[in-house]
Structure 1
Amino acid sequence: MEKRLTTTAMLFSVGFVFMLVCSVGAFFYGIQIGTEKTEAKYEKEDVGSKQASASVSPYQQQDLVSFYHTVFLSYREFQNEWFSAMNKLSQGKTNEATSMFKDLASLAGDKAHEASSVNMQSSPLLGEAQVSYIRSLNLFEEASNKAATQAKTLSFNELKKKIDQEKNYLSASQFALSAQQAYYAAMLKWAATVDLDIPSDYKSPALLELTQWKKLTITIKNKIMADQLLTRKKLTHYYPQDLTSRVDEFVESGQAAKMKVHTVTAVVDLLINTEAVRSGDFIESKSRLYENTLLPQLPFFTSETNL
C-alpha cells in the first residue's frame, strides 16, 4: 500500500513537472510569436513609409513655381536692368554711366539676397540652379562696381568693350546660363513624373537630326535649347522656349528643307547669327504649335511677360 502511494506520488510529480515545462515553453513560444509579428508589422510600416517617401519626387510643380517666384524672378529682374543699361551704353544715350552702374551693383546685391531667401536644396537641380544664380548676381555686382569706376575715364564705346571682356562679367554670364540649364533640366524631371513616356533626362547627340527633333516633346526641346545657349555662352533676353519655337517654325515652314539644313545645331546657328529670336516668340506660336502639350504652370509659359 505504501509502495503504491509512492509510485502514484512520483507519477503525479512527473506529470506536474511535465505540465510546468509545457506551460513555460508555451509562454515563451507565445512571446516569440508575438515579437515576430510586432517586428513584421513595424518592418512593413517602415518599408511602406520608405516607398511612400520614394514615390514623392523632389521635382513637383510647386517646387518649380516656388523657384520661379523666389529665385528666378530675382535674377531675371536684374538681368533686364543690365540689358537695358548695356543697350543705353551702346547707343550713347546716357551721360551718367557711373551712377547707372552703381545702381546696378546695388540691385545685384539686393537680388542675390532675395534669391537666398528660400532653401531649394531638397531638389538637387533647383538647388544647383539657385546657387549658380546667386553666384551670378554676386559677380554682376563686382562687374558693375568696376564699370562704375571705369566709366569716369572711358568713352561709351571703350567702356562697353571693357565690360564685354571683363572676367567677372564673363563668369557671371556663365553661371547664369548654367543655372538656366539646371532649371530646365528640373522641368524635364518633373515632366517624367507626370508622363512615364518622357525620360527624366536627355543628352542630345553631337548631331541631332531634324527628323529626330520633330519627335521630341516640348520639355525635351526646351532643355536642349538651354544646353545650346550654355554651350555657346550666349546670355540672351529671350528664353529657351522662344528659341524652341523658332526652330519648330523654321522646320514646319519648310525653310529648313529649302535651305538643305538637316541638324538642330545648324538651325540654331542660323537663327542666333541672324538675330531671328525674340522674347515672346513662344507665346505667339503656342496655340498653333503647342496646343495641349505638357508644361509646368509657370508664367513664362502661359502669358506675355516682360520678365
Structure 2
Amino acid sequence: MEKRLTRTEMLYSLGFLFMLVFAVGAFFYGVKIGSEKTEARLAEPAKQLGGSTKGNADAYQQQDLVSFYHTVYSPYREFQNEWIATFRKLSAGQLTNAASALNELSDAAEQAYKEAERASVPANSPLLASAQLQLLKSLRMFDEAASRGAGSVKDAPGAELVKALTTDAYYVDGVKYALSGQQDYYAAMLKWSASVNPDIPGEYEAPGGLSLADWKKLPLTVKNKVAADRLNARRSLAAFYPQDLASRVDEFVHSGQASAMKMRTVDAVIDLLLKTEAVRAGDFGSSKDELYSKELLPQLPFFFPEQE
C-alpha cells in the first residue's frame, strides 16, 4: 500500500520547493542586474568616447584646407590644365605628334598621382579625405585614357581623336571623379566657413529651381559650393574654378543682363554662360574687390592671387 506523507512532511517539502524556486529566481535576477551594471559601466566610456569623437567630427581647419590645396588640389589642377591645353591643340590641329603629347599627359597624370597620394589628410575631415580619394581615382582614369589614346592614334585627325578620347570610358570616369573631388573640397570650405560664422550653413543643397533672388542672398562660400555642384551635375571639366563661375553669375545679375533676358533661375544663367564659354579662369579675381570685399573666405591662393 502506498505510504502517504504526513502533514509535517508535506509542509516541509513545500517549504523546500519554495526556497529552491526563490533561490533560483534570486540567482538569475542577480545575474541580470550584474549584467546590466557591467554593460552600463562599459557603455559609459564608449559613450564619452563617442561624444568626444562627435565633438571633433567634421572639423575643418583653415590650415587643413591650405595644406590640401598645395598637396592634392593644386597638383591635380596643374595636370587638368595641361590636359585641357593639349586637347585644345589637338582640336586645332596644332600638334604634329599626338601620340607623344598623349604619352606626356599620361606621365603627368602619374606624377600628379604620386604627389597627391603622399598628402596626409586629417581623419576628422572626411570631406577632404573623400576629395583626395576622388581626385586620385580621377588621375588614374586620365592616365589610362591618355595611354589608350596614344596607342590608337594612327592617322586620325585631331578633332576626331579628341572626340574618341572624350567618349572613352576611362575619360568619362576621370571627369566624374575629378568633379566629385572638387565638389567635396568646396563642401569642406563651406564647413569651415560655418565654424567661423554661425550664420553660414555648414551644408547647403540648392533646389533645382534656385531663383536669382535667393541666390543674391547667399554667402560667397555657399555660392561657390553651388557652382561646384552645378559643374559636377553637368560633368563640365573646365580651366576655371567654381568661384569664377559664381562671380560671372553675380556679374550677369548685377549688370542687369539676367533681368533684360527675363531669366529667373541660377541654372538658366549657368547654362547660358557655359554654352557661350563666357567664364574664364581669373574672373573671380577681377570682380572680387567690387563684389566680395566683405565676404568670408579661407586664405587659399586661388582666392587671393595677389598674395602669391
Name the TM-score class by shorter chain.
Answer: 0.7 to 0.9
CA distance in 1, matches of 2:213, 2:163: 41
CA contact (8 A) 1:89 1:156 kept: yes
Cα separation, partners in 2 of 1:305 and 1:182, compared to 1, 3 Å: farther
CA distance in 2, matches of 1:56, 1:160: 43
Partner of 1:134: 136
CA distance in 1, matches of 2:135, 2:255: 36
> Structure 2 residue aligned with 1:125, among 124, 127, 136?
127
CA distance in 2, matches of 1:155, 1:166: 17
Which ranges in structure 1 are unaligned for 5 or more consecutive residues? 1-42
TM-score, normalization by structure 1: 0.81
CA distance in 2, matches of 1:212, 1:267: 14
Query: Following superposition of structure 1 onto structure 2, how do residues 1-307 of structure 1 map, counting pairs within 5 Å?
Result: 54=55, 58-120=59-121, 122=123, 123-303=125-305
CA distance in 2, matches of 1:146, 1:304: 40
Q: How far did 1:224 drift? A: 0.3
Letter of the aligned partner of 1:89 in structure 2?
L
Cα separation, partners in 2 of 1:305 and 1:72, compared to 1, 3 Å: farther
Count of aligned positions: 263
User: Which has the greater radius of gyration?
Assistant: 1
Which ranges in structure 2 are unaligned for 5 or more consecutive residues? 1-43
CA contact (8 A) 1:280 1:304 kept: no
Letter of the aligned partner of 1:203 in structure 2?
E
CA distance in 2, matches of 1:115, 1:165: 26
Q: How far did 1:53 drift? A: 8.1
CA distance in 1, matches of 2:50, 2:170: 47
Does the residue aligned with 2:297 lie in a helix, a strand or coil? coil
Q: How far did 1:56 drift? A: 7.6
Letter of the aligned partner of 2:171 in structure 1?
Y
CA contact (8 A) 1:57 1:193 kept: no
CA contact (8 A) 2:187 2:225 kept: yes
Q: Deviations over 1:88-113 (max 9, x none)?
A: 10111111111111111111111111
Q: CA RMSD in A?
A: 2.2
CA distance in 1, matches of 2:66, 2:93: 39
Identity of aligned residues (%): 50
Moved over 3 A (4+): 46-53
CA distance in 1, matches of 2:122, 2:302: 23
Cα separation, partners in 2 of 1:153 and 1:68, compared to 1, 3 Å: same
